[in-house]
Amino acid sequence: MDRKEFLSTLGFSAASIALASCLGGCKKDTPSGPTVDFTFDLTQSPYTALAIPGSYLYTNGIIIANTTSGVIIAVSEACTHEGANVQYQNSNNQFYCPRHGATFNTSGAVTRGPATSNLKQYTVTVNGNSVRVNG
Ligand code: FES
C-alpha cells in the first residue's frame, strides 16, 4: 500500500467513525415509541375511564390522558430514562415518572431529568365518541 492509498483509507475510516458517532447521537434525540394506528370508542370499556378529565390509561405501549382541560392526548408510556411507565399528573398537567422523578409536558418534552430524551407524541383525533390515535 503506498502513501496515497494509506491516507485515502485513513480518511475513509475517520469519516466512517464520525458518521457512526453522529448517527448514534441523532438517534438519542429522536423520541422512540411504538408505531400505532388504532381507534376506540369512549363509551366502551376500558376507555370509559377517559371520560373524566384528569384520567389516563395504558394501551398499545402508550399512555392516553384526558387533560384537566378536557383534551385527549397520547405519548409513549415508557420513560426514556430507564423505561418505567410514566403517569399523568392532573394536578400539574404533566407526565411524571415515579421511578426517578423525570417529568414531561403534555407534548412529551422533557421538563426535568434524569431523562434527557422526549416521549413520543401521537396524533389524537376525536370525532364524537370515536378517538383515533396514530403516529
Ligand atoms: S426511569 Fe423514569 S426517571 Fe428513571
* Rounded Cα distance, 108 and 105, in Å: 5
The sign of the torsion formed by the CA atoms of 55, 106, 109, 130 equals positive
Does the pTM surpass 0.85? The reply is: no
Mean pLDDT score of the chain = 85
128: left (phi over 0), alpha (psi -120 to 50) or beta: left
pLDDT at position 19 over 50: no
* Residues having CB within 6 Å of any atom of ligand 1: 79, 81-82, 84, 97, 99-102, 114-115
Residue 14 CA to ligand 1 centre (angstroms): 35
Residue 99 CA to ligand 1 centre (angstroms): 5
| Nearest C-alpha neighbor of 121 from the set 133, 103, 130, 129 | 133
Give the start-to-end residue ranges of the domains of the chain: 1-30, 37-134
User: pLDDT tens-digit profile of 64-81?
Assistant: 999 999 999 999 999 999
- Domain 37-134, architecture per CATH: 3-layer Sandwich (2.102)
The mean per-residue pLDDT over the stretch 13-19 comes to 40
Select from 32, 63, 75, 97 the residue to mutate for testing ligand 1; criterion: most ligand atoms less than 8 Å from CB. Answer: 97
pLDDT at position 126 over 90: yes
The mean per-residue pLDDT over the stretch 99-105 comes to 98
